[in-house]
């Protein structure tokens, strides 16, 4: 790649950022870092009616949580600002005027009501109304009205929009880095509004003007913008600007069935479709709050659309940066799999530094009202992390290290507390009392040799013993548990259990 790569993520702050949007941001970030380029965050807020309070802040917080670092933007600053489109109004006005001047655009005075009537009439006749080369000659615009009439209307401040004059019947050829050559005939396109009567540009004009002025070299965005590509390419031509490269990312699909992944799928199947909890209005669940590690979340997203060409599935951000390439992004939609998301978290639960998990775990233990030393927290985490997907699951796997059984699981008692269990447990207690170095491996050796001497069944003894210590038939290696809780507590739990179970 020659020249300096400049890419942008350009969300509209209309609500919480969907995970599809996070993936777009991620791919832009990976591409920028890989090519030692620059990632710009541009807030596309020209559609004032769709603005949502808190959305801009949410976008930034979500990217930060993911470790997607922005080089230029509203907060970061940079030489190409302002980075919020609502602060760039005059710029767009100037470029709209330039297109009017060069004849690539025209003013249209048709009222929404007039257009509504036309749309309806077409519908009734079984066709779709398009404002384009076929119809514009018969409509109320600066191409059909005499010049003095146009001057009068503008002098009277009659509202008008500025539309792009899409050429008739021309094959527009485009290149997409993922899809290759894309061909569209301009006859299928309408004269899109570039500038609205409220003095704001539409997405199309603002987006193209900014990509040019911000010297964007590669436009990496979602597939839903592919239908806008012909207009954008024509706008570049109209302005006489060099085209950037385009890459349209495949859609994220529902876990089952057809169509785009939506919030409703998440609600139905019980998984979030947003990175963070959304606290406003209709709230929405977030991956962060559900206990996902950002590393796992990012890893999962990276593989939804891109593949490394090998079986490797676990990638750190640095590995993603060095291995990512647009050429390995697929064309067809990527199916979202909530089970796989959990799987990724489980993997990170195993590979993350134990101290990091232990720190969080210790907080949880303290909230339960117990204190724990960092090295003990680490020891317990090591012991049980293989059994959980989330940090929150660690308490259930370790509560019995802190609390003696409050009850004895009925089904387990029925199955495992045998007639000779009381006698065996009393003998076991005596064996344990005689052990001076109460360390897992030592205890195990002594207990096992006692079982052999007495010719007891190992399963029967160990299950009954576990019932007394844990209250249920679960938990890690029993000798590790009693090593941790200590001799005194172990003997007490045996006494207490014998009292209750007889
Ligand atoms: N503002 C558009 C969005 O919300 C940006 C599309 C683009 O990247 O061109 O997705």
Backbone angle region of 475, left / alpha / beta, with phi > 0 → left and psi within -120 to 50 → alpha:
left
**Mean pLDDT in residue range 233-249:** 98
pLDDT per residue over 300-325, tens digit each?
A: 999 999 999 999 999 999 999 999 99
- Are the beta carbons of 250 and 305 closer than 8 angstroms? yes
Atom of ligand 1 nearest to the CA of 211: 9
In 33-176, DSSP assigns E strands to 38-41, 105-108, 161-164, 171-176
What distance in Å separates the CA atoms of residue 393 and residue 410, rounded to the nearest whole number?
23
Q: For ligand 1, say whether the CB of 424 is within 6 Å of any of its atoms.
A: no
* Burial of 166 per CB tally in 10 Å (0-12, 13-18, 19+): buried
Report how far residue 326's alpha carbon sits from residue 219's, in angstroms, rounded to the nearest whole number: 11
Alpha-carbon separation of residue 197 from 15, 107, 383, 389 (angstroms): 25, 10, 66, 53
Q: What pLDDT sits at residue 3?
A: 64
| Kind of pairing between the strands at 218-222 and 245-249 | parallel
- Whole-angstrom Cα distance, residue 108 to residue 130? 14
Band of residue 252 on the pLDDT scale cut at 50, 70, 90: very high
The model's confidence at residue 257, banded by pLDDT at 50, 70 and 90, is: confident
> Is the distance from the beta carbon of residue 225 to the nearest atom of ligand 1 less than 6 Å?
yes
Measured in residues, the chain has a length of 502
Residue 108: which of 3, 176, 191 has the closest Cα?
Answer: 191
List all residues 6 or more positions away from 23 whose beta carbon is below 8 Å from its beta carbon. Answer: 249, 252, 301, 302, 304, 305
| pLDDT tens by residue, 448-488 | 999 999 999 999 999 999 999 999 999 999 999 999 999 99
Classify domain 90-195 by CATH number. 3.90.800.10
Tokens of residue 207, six digits: 């987006």
Nearest CA to ligand 1 atom 2: 11
Strand residues in 109-146 grouped as ranges (E): none
Distance (Å, whole) CA 96 – CA 88 = 13
Domain range annotation of the chain: 90-195, 404-502
Q: Where are the alpha helices (DSSP H) in 352-373?
A: 354-367
Atom nearest to 12 CA in ligand 1: 4
Look at the alpha carbons of 158, 163, 165, 166 in this order and tell me if their dihedral is positive or negative: negative
The answer to whether residues 479 and 441 touch, using CB atoms and an 8 Å cutoff, is yes
Residue 149 CA to ligand 1 center (angstroms) comes to: 37
Neighbours of 131 (CB within 10 A): 21
Q: Which residue has the least CA distance to atom 3 on ligand 1?
A: 11
Percentage of residues of the chain with pLDDT beyond 90: 97
Does position 145 have pLDDT exceeding 90, yes or no? Answer: yes
Tens-digit pLDDT profile for residues 379-404: 999 999 999 999 999 999 999 999 99
Averaged pLDDT score across all residues of the chain: 96
d(CA 68, CA 49): 29
CATH number for the domain whose boundaries are 404-502: 1.10.10.350
Distance CA 126, CA 116 (A): 15
Pick from 11, 86, 202 the residue to mutate for probing ligand 1's pocket: most ligand atoms within 8 Å of its CB: 11
List of residues 6+ apart from 144 with CB closer than 8 A: 136, 137, 138
- Tens digits of residue pLDDT in 8-48: 999 999 999 999 999 999 999 999 999 999 999 999 999 88
User: Cβ contacts of residue 399 below 8 Å, gap of 6+?
Assistant: 368
Specify the ligand 1 atom closest to the Cα of 8: 8
Would the CB of 398 count as within 6 Å of ligand 1? no
Q: Do domains 90-195 and 404-502 have the same CATH topology?
A: no
* Residue 502 confidence class, pLDDT cut points 50, 70, 90: confident
Catalytic residues: 263
Encoded tokens for 120: 């309806």
pTM more than 0.95 = no
For the purposes of burial, counting CB atoms within 10 Å of the CB of 175, is it exposed (0-12), middle (13-18) or buried (19 or more)? Answer: middle
pLDDT at 2 over 70: no
CB 197 within 8 A of CB 160: yes
463 lines ligand 1 (CB under 6 A): no
Question: What are 418-453's pLDDT values in tens digits?
Answer: 999 999 999 999 999 999 999 999 999 999 999 999
pLDDT at 48: 86
- Cβ neighbours of residue 208 under 8 Å, at least 6 residues apart? 232, 235, 236, 239
Each residue of 185-211: pLDDT tens digit? 999 999 999 999 999 999 999 999 999
DSSP notation for 223-245: GGGGGGHHHHHHHHHHHTPPP-E
Check pocket membership of 221 for ligand 1, CB cut-off 6 A.
yes
């Amino acid at each position: 790649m020659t020249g300096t790569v400049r890419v942008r993520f350009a969300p509209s702050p209309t609500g919480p950022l969907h995970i599809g949007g996070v993936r777009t941001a991620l791919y832009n970030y990976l591409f920028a870092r890989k090519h030692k380029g620059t990632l710009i965050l541009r807030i596309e807020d020209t559609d004032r009616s769709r603005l949502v309070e808190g959305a801009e802040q949410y976008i930034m917080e979500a990217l930060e949580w993911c470790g997607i670092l922005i080089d230029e933007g509203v907060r970061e600053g940079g030489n190409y600002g302002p980075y919020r489109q609502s602060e760039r109004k005059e710029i767009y006005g100037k470029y709209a005027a330039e297109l009017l001047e060069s004849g690539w655009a025209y003013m249209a005075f048709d009222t929404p009501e007039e257009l509504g009537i036309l749309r309806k009439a077409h519908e009734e006749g079984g066709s779709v109304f398009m404002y384009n080369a076929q119809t514009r000659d018969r409509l109320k615009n600066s191409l059909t009205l005499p010049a003095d009439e146009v001057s009068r209307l503008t002098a009277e401040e009659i509202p008008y929009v500025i539309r792009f004059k899409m050429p008739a019947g021309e094959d527009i050829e485009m290149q997409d880095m993922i899809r290759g050559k894309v061909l569209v005939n301009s006859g299928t396109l309408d004269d899109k509004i570039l500038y609205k009567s409220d003095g704001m540009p539409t997405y199309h004009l603002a987006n193209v003007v900014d990509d040019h002025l911000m010297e964007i070299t590669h436009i990496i965005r979602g597939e839903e913008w592919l239908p806008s590509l012909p207009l954008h390419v024509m706008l570049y031509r109209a302005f006489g600007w060099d085209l950037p490269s385009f890459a349209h990312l495949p859609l994220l699909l529902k876990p089952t069935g057809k169509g785009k992944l939506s919030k409703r799928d998440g609600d139905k199947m019980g998984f979030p479709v947003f990175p963070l909890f959304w606290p406003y209005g209709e709230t929405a669940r977030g991956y962060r709050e559900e206990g996902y590690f950002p590393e796992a979340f990012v890893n999962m997203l990276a593989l939804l659309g891109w593949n490394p060409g090998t079986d490797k599935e676990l990638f750190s951000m640095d590995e993603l940066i060095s291995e990512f390439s647009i050429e390995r992004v697929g064309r067809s939609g990527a199916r979202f799999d909530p089970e796989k998301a959990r799987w990724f978290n489980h993997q990170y639960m195993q590979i993350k530094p134990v101290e990091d998990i232990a720190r969080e775990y210790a907080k949880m233990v303290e909230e339960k009202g117990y204190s724990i030393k960092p090295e003990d927290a680490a020891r317990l985490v090591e012991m049980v992390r293989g059994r959980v997907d989330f940090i929150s699951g660690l308490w259930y796997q370790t509560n019995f290290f802190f609390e003696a059984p409050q009850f004895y699981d009925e089904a387990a008692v029925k199955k495992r507390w045998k007639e000779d269990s009381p006698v065996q447990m009393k003998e076991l207690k005596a064996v344990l009392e005689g052990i001076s170095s109460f360390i897992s491996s030592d205890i195990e050796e002594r207990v096992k040799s006692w079982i052999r001497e007495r010719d007891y069944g190992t399963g029967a003894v160990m299950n009954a013993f576990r019932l007394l210590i844990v209250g249920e038939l679960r938990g890690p290696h029993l000798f590790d548990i009693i090593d941790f809780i200590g001799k005194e507590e172990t003997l007490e739990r045996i006494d207490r259990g014998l009292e209750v179970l007889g």
